[in-house]
Structure 1
């Protein structure tokens, strides 16, 4: 969408503009995290990390929370395991199930994510100005609550 002109962007339905802004915010946050030492993390890995319980979570539960298939979640988990962000262990009572937990590196990523998101918020405040950003937040809150 970045190759669209300003007029073409203005003509898009509001939902598409909100989605574009969301994608920009995600990409900016991820870029900050990648620059801080998490170079192998992709946007697709985020639903794994954000849906994990502290004591660990079964792959089937992760998939349900993220709204994806068990097979896709399993693939993402395997990728994160290969790069050191999660570990797998058998479920204590269900021998067919696997429980996913964060490694120290995964915990560091999860702890650094809010810092990156706050930095993106500051970038948006600089782009829009504090007053316009506050107005945008209020408008998005009203839309979210409607």
Structure 2
């Protein structure tokens, strides 16, 4: 019988997916154990909140920043507003546009979540070795930079 770990695809997309899934599981487990606004937040919530500037950003610009459609981001943001983590205000320069910004509760959720992520990352660093983990982080950081040669 084939186990879950057998025959893993060897392409980067699948391997990164397995790593992301594992880290997401650990972060979710840890955030479900803490009290406060980060309790049980999914990694997608944490990502959106951490990419939303304190002074806010227009929905259209934030959607581009996080790689979502404006409509999808709007629905997602509505859920975070319901949790008291984001607030929506009208753009004073264009009353038709909405600006999203984290609330004090949302900023606390980001800080708490980032602490959990650092703990999880530290465990993974110990597991694979400090030098290899640091090289992986640097490689991912380099790969995440936009390609300006095109």
TM-score normalised over the length of structure 1 = 0.80
Residue 6 (structure 1) aligns with: 5
Asked whether the equivalents of residues 40 and 83 of structure 1 are also in contact (C-alpha less than 8 Å), the reply is no
Residue 134 (structure 2) aligned to one of 97, 118, 137:
137
**Structure-2 separation of matches of 1:136 and 1:39:** 27
Of Structure 1 and Structure 2, which has the larger fraction of its residues in helix?
1
Which ranges of structure 2 fall in alignment gaps of 5 or more residues? 144-150
Which is further off, 45-54 or 98-107? 45-54
The count of residues paired between Structure 1 and Structure 2 equals 140
Which is further off, 102-111 or 69-78? 102-111
Superposed CA RMSD in Å reads 2.3
**Structure-2 separation of matches of 1:61 and 1:78:** 16
Residue 113 (structure 1) aligns with: 113
The secondary structure found in structure 2 opposite 1:7 is coil
Which ranges of structure 1 fall in alignment gaps of 5 or more residues? none
Asked whether the equivalents of residues 29 and 120 of structure 1 are also in contact (C-alpha less than 8 Å), the reply is yes
Residues 40 and 82 of structure 1: CA distance in aligned 2, closer, same or farther (over 3 Å): farther
- Which deviations, in whole Å up to 9, do the C-alpha atoms of 1:52-89 show, x marking residues without a partner? 11211111111010111000000011000001101111
**Structure-1 separation of matches of 2:137 and 2:86:** 34
